Amino acid sequence: MAETDDLKLLAMLVHRGQIERGAAEALLAESKASGRRPLELAVGKGLFTRERLDHLRRVESEDVPELPGFEALGIAGRGGTAVVVRAKDRKAGRELAIKVLRRDFENDAKIKASFLREAKLLIGLKHPNIVAGEKVGSFQGRLVFLMEYVPGRSLQDLLKAGKTFEEDQALYIVLQVARALTYLAANGVVHRDIKPGNVLITDRNEVKLIDLGFAASVGESEPAGAQGSGPTTVGTVAYISPEQARGQSDLDVRSDIYSLGATLYQLVAGELPFSGQDNQEVLAAQILASLSSEVLKSRRISPHMHYFIEKMMAKEREVRYQSPAELIADIEQQIRGKKSFEFDPAAAAGGAAAGELLKKPFEEAVKPSRPIAPIVRRRRPR
């Protein structure tokens, strides 16, 4: 940890009352005279132990409790209301993720209820493409949620890093997310926030859907707002369906399919399907604007990929794929060379038959003509 981070950590400890202001000022004065870092001096003076300092540095000054039996290894992620800590279970010897509600929300009944609701939902769901929840409870007055730790990166992080996705890679990801959506739909759950930031992928090409903070039962409304969009719309505006943008309460899996289509668009086109000066402009575009065929053509998107995106992101949900199973069947058949597509909105409106899912194992069913390169390459030790 850099010296400036140590100073921030010292300030946080003073703010939390764990070091008296006078003691901190004395440490800073001695540090300036000796050239030693103030927190190292604090350990030497017995203000706290070396183990305590190492823990504070590992969690990067975040205000998270130390859970008995777990060793904090660092911050895995930060959200608007919680911090996720990567930790090791000392007894079991395995890593997991611990989501901690931030202290400034511990008296917010609505946020706490949402935190508990997501935790209980994930604990009740068991699917290889959905991050698993384990336990939720309170420790030292703080809500904590123990989850499966996924050693990977989000699609959003990869996009920000300049990652470009081949069509085979993008379809492989979409198929696995669609399998998760099939499971959620079978359990009467709509995710409502499918986006690259909520899809993790490991160096073994395992895909995990995360963050069910906006999830709801089919037809359930939720007063929490979308990011900057108002009180009646949930989700992330760049990816939500037209009906979600309108704040409709009767959302179903077809809304998630639209969001998955917007994600697919971004993976293969390298940009969002709709943009604007602010969230209101993007919301309006989701409802009214058509996809730009020129953008897809300029990226040399194949006809069948163009078809998938158009059908997944149709403005009327009756025109979209009516279930993830239907989407999976079409993509699997295309990858295996059994079907070719030309998008016909009129024909699609009539509802294409879902088709029988392939009997062979999933990995074999989607095997492309050439191997899929690792989407996230294993980092070599320095």
Check: CB of residue 272 under 8 Å from CB of residue 245. no
Residue identified by tokens 């504070």 is: 56
Check: CB of residue 317 under 8 Å from CB of residue 255. yes
How far apart (Å, rounded) are the C-alpha atoms in residues 197 and 172? Answer: 17
Residue 231's identity, in one-letter code, is P
| CA separation, residue 63 to residues 68, 207, 222 (Å) | 16, 30, 29
Strands 82-89 and 94-101: antiparallel
Give the relative orientation of helices 253-269 and 303-312 as an angle to the nearest 10 degrees.
Answer: 140
Active site residue 193: yes
Check: CB of residue 176 under 8 Å from CB of residue 328. no
How far apart (Å, rounded) are the C-alpha atoms in residues 229 and 220? Answer: 19
**Strand, coil or helix: what is 149?**
coil
Active-site position among 193, 211, 256, 330: 193
Q: Print the SS3 string covering 17-68.
A: CCCCHHHHHHHHHHHHHHCCCHHHHHHHCCCCCHHHHHHHHHCCCCCCCCCC
Residue among 167, 197, 176 at smallest CA distance from 373: 167
Residue identified by tokens 């320095």 is: 382
Check: CB of residue 254 under 8 Å from CB of residue 320. yes
Check: CB of residue 339 under 8 Å from CB of residue 194. no
How far apart (Å, rounded) are the C-alpha atoms in residues 370 and 324? Answer: 25
Residue 46's contacts (CB-CB under 8 Å, 6 or more residues apart) are none
| Residues identified as active-site | 193
